[in-house]
Amino acid sequence: MLEIKIKRLDLAHTWTIARGSADYKENVFVKLEQGGICGFGEAAPNVRYGESAALTVTRMKAAAPVFEQHDLFHFEELAAALAETIRDQSCARAGLEMALLDWVGKALQAPLYRMWGLNPARAPLTSFSIGIDSPEVIQAKVEEAADYPILKIKLGMGDDEAVLGAVRRVTDRPLRVDANEGWLNKEEALEKIRWLADQNVEFVEQPLPAAMVEETAWLRERASLPIVADEAVKTAADIPKVAHAYDGINIKLMKSGGLLEALRMIHLARALDLKIMLGCMIESSLAISAAAQLAPYTDWIDLDGNLLLREDPFRGVRIERGKVLYNELPGLGVEGDF
């Protein structure tokens, strides 16, 4: 009743960030079938966290018996059992739990956002990410992204002035900056943030390497822009350790290991007075629609991984001028080719 397959997702443009470049992504897709209902899930392995498509498939296969041992409606219990079984490859857990919650939503005939009592109209506008490239290509990408009111740009490759300059020559739209751990010391990061502060930048994501928590706390005291943790926070357990060093956290299903842990992170971050951003990896509309179910809880969203694909095997939430448009379909609200 569990089917697993790897799909190659080609990108519309070569995707470059501070860690490296890619022309395609290999994500792992799951179909969970029981009682004539199919739930779908997607895992997007990320090398930053030691993940691969092959290991993800191995972990998913090892966890398949968990689905036989539990009533699918007892999804909290089942998800806890998945967490016991899958200790690394958090994206594998995310993909399996996604299929489970899609199944449950379909069985109950309700979209997940409705099961959680959320108002989809409260989802914030999403940003659209521009990967690192030559100034000419960056300008072309910004122009292609004319429909998106907020852009996210990737810095941290040593040519920050050229990248930002290229963007600012063609648009004055608000920007979010992601350094992907690319600035290597706190003084350099402070200088960059001071420079960004008068260029209509909303916040800076992961300026320093995740391990530099105390340096980031030093930076936060002096910086005039909010600092958001991405690589520094995977699950709820990481949040208290870094809460003094950041103004907000970027939650991603592939890091948290699924929607239920993402929900725990949202509640913990709120209790600690942190801002909440909801992000993604390069993913199809399947995983993006799953994340979107939580968007009404958050302050900032960056759910654009599907928009970077040449061809998207699924259809789910749509984005119009940065606004997330939900449908009334049950579960994750997704249709497509498994």
Q: How far is the CB of 277 from Mg ion (least distance, A)?
A: 9
Pick 47 or 62: Cβ nearer Mg ion: 47
In the complex, what is the shortest distance from the CB of residue 176 to Mg ion, in angstroms, rounded to a whole number?
10
Smaller CB separation from Mg ion, 51 or 178: 178
**Contact region with Mg ion (CB under 5 A), list: 35-43, 189-197, 199-207, 237-245:** 199-207
Nearer to Mg ion, 27 or 60 (CB): 27
Residue number with CB closer to Mg ion (97 or 205): 205
Residue 64 CB, nearest distance to Mg ion (Å)? 32
Cβ contact 142:172 at 8 Å = no
Position 283 contacts Mg ion (CB under 5 A): no
| 178 lies in the site for Mg ion, by CB under 5 A | yes
Is 304 near Mg ion (CB under 5 A)?
no
Tell me, residue by residue from 204 to 223, as one string, x for binding to Mg ion by CB under 5 A and - for no binding: -x------------------
Q: Decide whether 250 or 289 has the Cβ nearer to Mg ion.
A: 250
CB closer to Mg ion out of 102 and 238: 238
CA separation for the pair 296, 317 (Å, rounded):
13
What is the smallest separation between the CB atom of 47 and Mg ion, expressed in angstroms? Answer: 14
Q: Does 261 bind Mg ion (CB under 5 A)?
A: no
Q: Which residue, 102 or 231, has its beta carbon nearer to Mg ion? A: 231
Applying CB under 5 A, the span of 8-16, 32-40, 228-236, 321-329 interacting with Mg ion comes to 228-236
- Does residue 230 touch Mg ion according to CB under 5 A? yes
Report, in Å, the least distance between residue 82 CB and Mg ion: 25
Question: Which residues make up the interface to Mg ion (CB under 5 A)?
Answer: 178, 205, 230
